[in-house]
Structure 1
Amino acid sequence: MFTEPDQGFRPRIAHDFTGETLGGRYHFDYRIGYGAAASIYAATCKNTGAIFALKVLHPDHDNDAVEVQRFKQEGLLAAQIRHPNLIPAYDAGWLGGRHFIAMELIEGKTLADVLKDGPIPWERSVSIVCDVLAGLAALHERAVAHRDISPNNCILEFIGGSERARLSDLGYARVVEGMSEAEGLKLGVPPESVPTMIFGTPYFIAPERLRGSPGDFRADIYSVGALWYTMLTGEALPDPRDSDPVAVAQRIDLPPTLRAVLLGSVEIRMRRHHSAASMADAIRKTLEDIRAPSNDAIHKMLADLHGQRRRARRFKTFAPLLVVPVWLAVQPEPTSSECPDPKMLVASPAVAACPELPVATPVDPEPEIRPEPAPSAATPTTPPPEWKSDSQVLVEVHADEPRAASRREVAGSARVFNLRRALAKCKPPGPMSLEIAIVSGEKTQIDGEPAEGELGRCVEGVLASHPPKRAETLKL
């Protein structure tokens, strides 16, 4: 069962504005919750009767210029970047002696509340991750890094019987410098950074941010991976300073190709998915592969169809010899049973892109059966057509499959060691590329960083068993 990490700095607040009216406009109906910087209330607008989620900065921060500017930026970002998986702001400013943001009120639960009942199925977790990535991609497209993705900032609502996840709380968001996509945003003076302060939720913060980096899109991707891991296990991913996140996440119960996408989100920064859009695209392609039937499954399906056809033909061949001639004379000509086109069996759009499979050649086309006079003693009985055993049928069905290499061929190929091929086996599944720099007497570099984690251990093991004769850089 997931328990919220102890953030240590979350204060207990003494004020509660429930029942009061803000500037004669918003009536505080009840308090929904509070955090380190602000409280959130359900509030009714007295002018329109609409109900909003009203976020109010704690009075203790009214004189803190950095906190005030950060709060103002949150309202401006939520108002200017709209997406179905984000929470929009409709009003913000200073009213009745309070800094406030009026946002859409979402009727739902936080993911943290849902996970108190334990892990959720992987199919549901994928849907939630895709929603989070969709909202995050809208931020990344405008050069904004969220920096606080966690179960508390993911709200689940039900619309028309379907679940939708929405990413909330842009209080720690940061505009990435030097990106033209941010030019259209009107944010005023950006809040000053605090070098000694690490914003975010413990156990969901990327390792490079824990080392002092301000954080960018790839830091958000790490947080999404940690969120996904928590959904599947009910536990937070261990602190990356104390353990290897990839080695820990390797043990989760998830389809292998989908697990590779998750591992690509908690890798070291250089090997991580570079944006929310790229990770969402990797998940979509993986789901298409999972839904598509494998070659083995289609071969088995074809073998079963051929077997059924053969048994039906056998019955049609011998049945006329066992019945009365009069009955046989009045029966209409039976229609032949054609084997369905294998291409018609693969009708799913997700499978349409799969390579065309070899189709087994039909065995013994079904003979046309016509009524014949009853056999007499003078007329010898026509022998039944030749039919083949199930083992022969399976051999013909799989005749086009690649032949396994013989022992002599395997032994011959093993004589020459190929360093590139050996190192390629260390590469995690997925579309990512690696650059391995090998220098004698120095630490091996992977994508410009020292070899670490499961990948680093695999590479070092290959180099230890087959020491290279010269320095070289391999791109895999």
Structure 2
Amino acid sequence: MQEHGAIFALKVLHPDHDDDAVEVQRFKQEGLLAAQIRHPNLIPAYDAGWLGGRHFIAMELVEGKTLADVLKDGPISWERSASIVCDVLAGLTALHERAVAHRDISPNNCILESIGGCERARLSDLGYARVVEGMSEAEGLKLGVPPESVPTMIFGTPYFITPERLRGSPGDFRADIYSVGALWYTMLTGEALPDPRDSDPVAVAQRLDLPPTLRAVLLGAVEIRMRRHHSAASMADVIRKVLEDIRAPSNDAIHKMLSDLHGQRRRARRIKMFAPLLAIPVWLAVQPEPTSPACPDPKALVASPVVAACPEPPVATPVDPEPAIRPEPTPSTATPTTPPPEWKSDAQVLVEMHADEPHVASRREVAASARVFNLRRALAKCKPPGPMSIEIAIVPGEKAQIDGEPAEGELGRCVEGVLASHPPKRAETIKL
């Protein structure tokens, strides 16, 4: 605007779409949504109209790079990716609170800007956004005539579209949650999440090198709809809590360290009459506060939730003071170590169960028991590793359902293979 000296970014509809009534209406709706829903992690619009034979939207000029441009240099660290995900979820929360689903979350629609040395992500492009019908939160929005739906067309960016939308469902807020999970996977690997029709997204994301608790949050975003995070705000809350636990040792961890130190001192006294007192390291009591800020609150609509890219706080290394001679712990006092669980055959289990009984099952009896097929155990081998549980509904002669959805992907093929080799004789539901 020349009168005020302000600089804006102008988004102009391509001339090829000037005669397409649906595209024109979507463009107008984008301007109206961007003007009415304001949040620091969204890009606001200030004006829209027709000028010089072109449809335009005047928006805030954001000086930064798209996430797609940043990822051309390769994957980014999980710490940085978690901050970006928090920003995207904050912007999504503002949209969802007004009953608007974004429907096109991708690296091209995420802009990273630097403010005072800190990075902030902003969600852009509301061209494919849709107001969820029947939501009272949308009553205050002025959108004019809604664009007509095209039944055979799926709006969005390939590899970031949720499985239920690929099957024809219009999608809702949880469809955006899936797209955030796919976006997070792309940041960590530099590659798009495989098509959910060809592979199980949970099984693919399970292989990511992430802190286990943070990986569980990501898996909750790419799960099937029934088990997905139910809102952007709840997912952001979980990330914030997980980051706090990662950056600061928990009280349980500190108590365990103290208990281990006291246990070493007691064992040393049993071997030697005199043992030097073990000083508890001071660093346990005066841990420095983490300098990296937590995930911003997605509902902070006034203050800009900028996440500073601060270095990780230095971690002190505890010094284990050794006595003059470190005695070997006796078998009676040594702390037992629990070996990792291993799979045992039915025959091994039966032998162990009857080991102390007067009568030990014969080899023929054990072998006969081992041949009994266990459907639950066979299906458990199909379940991807991780904390998520699944529910398999089986009906003889019909296709199995997993968490209320048709069995699909690697998990579905595995389940169907088990049922094909051992057809079920009755209907049942198995929880794994």
The superposition leaves residues 1-25 of structure 1 with CA deviations (integer Å, 9 ceiling, x where unpaired) of xxxxxxxxxxxxxxxxxxxxxxxxx
Distance 1:148 1:294, change over 3 A: same
Q: How far 1:91 moved relative to its partner?
A: 1.2
* Structure number with larger C-alpha Rg: 1
Distance across 1 between alignment mates of 2:404 and 2:177: 20
Query: Using a 3 Å threshold, how does the CA distance of structure 1 residues 65 and 255 change in structure 2: closer, same or farther?
Result: same
Is the contact between residue 292 and residue 309 of structure 2 (CA under 8 Å) also seen in structure 1?
Answer: no
| Cα drift, residue 332 of structure 1 | 34
- Residue 35 (structure 2) pairs with residue 75 (structure 1): no
Any conservation in 1 of the 2:8–2:59 contact (CA below 8 Å)? yes
TM-score by length of 1: 0.62
Q: Classify 1:199/1:402 alpha carbon distance in 2 versus 1 (closer, same or farther; 3 Å).
A: farther
Q: 2:115 aligns with which of 159, 163, 167?
A: 159
Q: What is the distance in 2 between the residues matched to 1:252 and 1:63?
A: 46
* Superposed displacement of residue 218, structure 1: 2.1
Superposed displacement of residue 201, structure 1: 1.8
- Residues 101-154 of structure 1: per-residue CA shift (max 9 Å, x gap): 111111211111111111001111111111101101111111111111111110
By how many angstroms is 1:160 displaced?
2.7
For residues 403 and 153 of structure 1, do their structure 2 counterparts lie closer, same or farther at Cα, with a shift above 3 Å needed?
Answer: farther
The answer to whether the Cα contact below 8 Å between 2:103 and 2:176 also exists between their aligned partners in 1 is: yes
What is the Cα deviation at residue 370 of structure 1?
Answer: 29
| In 1, Cα distance between equivalents of 2:200 and 2:338 | 74
How far is the alpha carbon of 1:425 from its aligned partner?
Answer: 9.2
Aligned with 2:272: secondary structure?
helix
| 2: CA distance, partners of 1:356 / 1:217 | 34
Superposed CA RMSD in Å reads: 13.5
Greater displacement, 465-474 / 362-371: 362-371
Residue by residue, what CA displacement relative to the aligned partner does 1:244-273 show, whole Å, maximum 9, x if unpaired?
322222221112222222222223333322
| Separation (CA, whole Å) in 2 of partners of 1:175 and 1:328 | 52
* TM-score, normalised with respect to structure 2: 0.68
Residue 285 of structure 1 aligns to a residue whose secondary structure is helix
Aligned residues of 1:203 and 1:236 also touching (Cα < 8 A): yes
Q: State the Cα deviation string for residues 322-370 of structure 1 (Å, max 9, x = none).
A: 9999999999999999999999999999999999999999999999999
**For structure 1, which segment, 323-332 or 61-70, has the greater mean C-alpha deviation from structure 2 after superposition?**
323-332
Distance, in Å, in 2 between the alignment partners of 1:377 and 1:359 is 32
- Which one is further off, 64-73 or 281-290? 281-290
User: Which deviates more, 387-396 or 210-219?
Assistant: 387-396
1:66 matched to which residue of 2?
Answer: 22
CA separation of 1:183 and 1:407: change in aligned 2, threshold 3 A: farther
Query: Is residue 159 of structure 2 the alignment partner of residue 203 of structure 1?
Result: yes
% identity of equivalent residues: 92
Equivalent pair of 1:206/1:219 in contact (CA under 8 Å): yes
8 Å CA contact 1:333–1:370 kept in 2: the answer is no
Give the Cα separation in 2 of the matches to 1:210 and 1:387.
38
Please say if residues 80 and 309 of structure 2, whose CA atoms lie closer than 8 Å, have aligned partners that are also in contact: no
Comparing 327-336 and 441-450, the one that deviates more? 327-336
* Equivalent-residue separation in structure 1 for 2:374 and 2:255 (angstroms): 34
Query: How many angstroms does 1:291 deviate by?
Result: 4.2
Greater CA drift, 127-136 or 206-215: 206-215
Corresponding residue for residue 322 of structure 1: 278
1:48-100 deviations in Å (ceiling 9; x for gaps): x0011111112332222111111110000001111111111111122333211
Relative to structure 1, the CA distance from residue 453 to residue 390 in structure 2 (aligned partners, 3 Å threshold; closer, same or farther) is closer
Distance 1:103 1:420, change over 3 A: same
CA distance, structure 1, for counterparts of residue 110 and residue 78 of structure 2: 17
Once the two structures are overlaid, the 10-residue window that deviates more, 419-428 or 330-339, is: 330-339
Pairs within 5 Å for 1:102-141: 102-141=58-97
Q: Indicate how the Cα distance of structure 1 residues 134 and 364 shifts in structure 2: closer, same or farther if over 3 A, else same.
A: closer
Q: How many residues align?
A: 428
**Structure 1 pair 332–430 and aligned structure 2 pair: CA distance change class (3 A):** closer
Closer, same or farther in 2 for the Cα pair 1:306/1:442, shift >3 Å? same
Structure 1 residues 421, 314: CA separation in 2 closer, same or farther (over 3 Å shift)? Answer: closer
- Cα pair distance change 1:468/1:233, threshold 3 Å: same
Q: Distance in 2 between matches of 1:276 and 1:424?
A: 31
Kept in 2: contact 1:305–1:339 (CA 8 A): no
Q: Does 1:248 align with 2:194?
A: no
Stretch deviating more after TM superposition (145-154 or 370-379): 370-379
My pick for the range that moved more, 280-289 or 226-235, is 280-289
- How far 1:224 sits from its partner (Å)? 1.0
Give the deviation of 1:310 after TM superposition.
8.6
Distance 1:75 1:212 in 2: 27
CA distance in structure 2 between the aligned counterparts of 1:255 and 1:331, rounded to whole angstroms: 21
Does residue 293 (structure 1) correspond to residue 249 (structure 2)? The answer is yes
Kept in 2: contact 1:317–1:384 (CA 8 A): no
Structure 1 window deviating more from structure 2 (381-390 vs 119-128): it is 381-390
Instruction: State the distance in 2 between where 1:241 and 1:106 align.
Output: 36
CA separation in 2, counterparts of 1:66 and 1:343? 33
Cα distance in 1, alignment partners of residues 426 and 146 from structure 2: 51
Distance 1:380 1:436 in 2: 38
Distance 1:54 1:472, change over 3 A: same
Point out the more displaced range, 356-365 or 287-296: 356-365
292-301 or 117-126: bigger deviation: 292-301
1:317 partner SS:
coil
Contact 2:290 2:312 in 1 (8 A): no
| Secondary structure of residue in 1 paired with 2:252 | helix
Distance 1:376 1:289, change over 3 A: closer
Structure 1 431/301 Cα, relative in aligned 2: closer, same or farther at 3 Å? Answer: closer
Compared CA separation, residues 355 and 188, structure 1 to 2 (3 A): closer
Instruction: Tell me which of 440, 453, 463 is aligned to 2:419.
Output: 463
Partner secondary structure for residue 330 of structure 1: coil
Aligned to 2:343: 387
